[in-house]
Amino acid sequence: MQQNIILIGFMGTGKSTIGRHLSQTFGYSLIDTDQMIVDQQGRSISQIFADDGEEGFRRIEAELLQSLSNQSGQIISTGGGIIGSSENRALLRKLGYVVWLQASPSEILERTSRNSNRPLLDNDDPEGTIRRLLDLRVPLYRETAHLCIETDQLNFDEVTTGIIESARYFFAAQQ
Ligand code: S3P
């Protein structure tokens, strides 16, 4: 298994922000899969969905994940739907210590309503969409993660500290 920390979880659970904190504190460099896709494609996530549909986006996302498979010493923050395929789930666990950031539907709604760059929630019923997608995805996040952190009542420092301590134990036990 590679020595990376991988953040998974629904949109709006703080993966990018926690990823930045972790990278500064742990001294690992930061990879954000959505940002890499935007940089490589020269298109926003919304534009990719508009041009190629969700299916096209998932193909690009899966290829990117495969290209990371020999990396080590990275914090890898992922898009919320990356756990959809069993190939991706297996790859994520090979990449290292997988941390699932969890938040309640109301917290997710509040955090995601602050910007409009999430095509899957750009409809008349974002709350219903969040609940429906969570029902489908929670078992997949659970099956993929080594650690789950419930973030509603914690600040970013508390989440970061919890991840760092448990990741140290995890990596030490692997040696
Ligand atoms: C998606 C989450 C987004 C992005 C895309 C699809 C999803 O990433 O990959 O809009 O299916 O949940 P974030 O979780 O970083 O918002």
pTM above 0.85, yes or no: yes
- Report the C-alpha gap between 18 and 21 in whole angstroms: 5
Considering only residues 86 and 174, tell me which one the structure prediction assigns the higher pLDDT. Answer: 86
Contact 72, 41 (CB under 8 A): no
Ligand 1 centroid – CA 174 distance (Å) = 31
Give tens-digit pLDDT for 14-64: 999 999 999 999 899 999 999 999 999 999 999 999 999 999 999 999 999
Q: Per the structure block, which two tokens stand in for 174?
A: 């692997």
Q: Residue 73's pLDDT band (boundaries 50, 70, 90)?
A: very high
Is residue 96 within 6 Å of ligand 1 at its C-beta? Answer: no
Is residue 45 within 6 Å of ligand 1 at its C-beta? Answer: yes
- CB atoms under 10 Å from CB of 101, counted, come to 27
Q: How far is CA 52 from CA 43, 83, 113, 129, in A?
A: 11, 20, 24, 21
| 35, 108, 120, 141, best to mutate for ligand 1 pocket (most atoms within 8 Å of CB) | 120
Instruction: Find the mean pLDDT for residues 105-109.
Output: 95
Is residue 32 within 6 Å of ligand 1 at its C-beta? Answer: no
- Report the C-alpha gap between 2 and 71 in whole angstroms: 7
- For the chain, domain boundaries: 4-174
Q: What pLDDT does 53 receive?
A: 97
Ligand 1 nearest atom to the CA of residue 118, by list position: 10
Give tens-digit pLDDT for 140-166: 999 999 999 999 999 999 999 999 999
Give 125-161 as a DSSP string. -HHHHHHHHHHHHHHHHHHH-SEEEE-TT--HHHHHH
pLDDT averaged over every residue in the chain: 95
Architecture of domain 4-174: 3-Layer(aba) Sandwich (3.40)
Q: Per the structure block, which two tokens stand in for 112?
A: 């995601």
- CB atoms under 10 Å from CB of 158, counted, come to 12
Is residue 118 within 6 Å of ligand 1 at its C-beta? Answer: yes
Q: Residue 175's pLDDT band (boundaries 50, 70, 90)?
A: confident
| Amino acid residing at 105 | P
Is residue 22 within 6 Å of ligand 1 at its C-beta? Answer: no
Q: What pLDDT does 1 receive?
A: 83
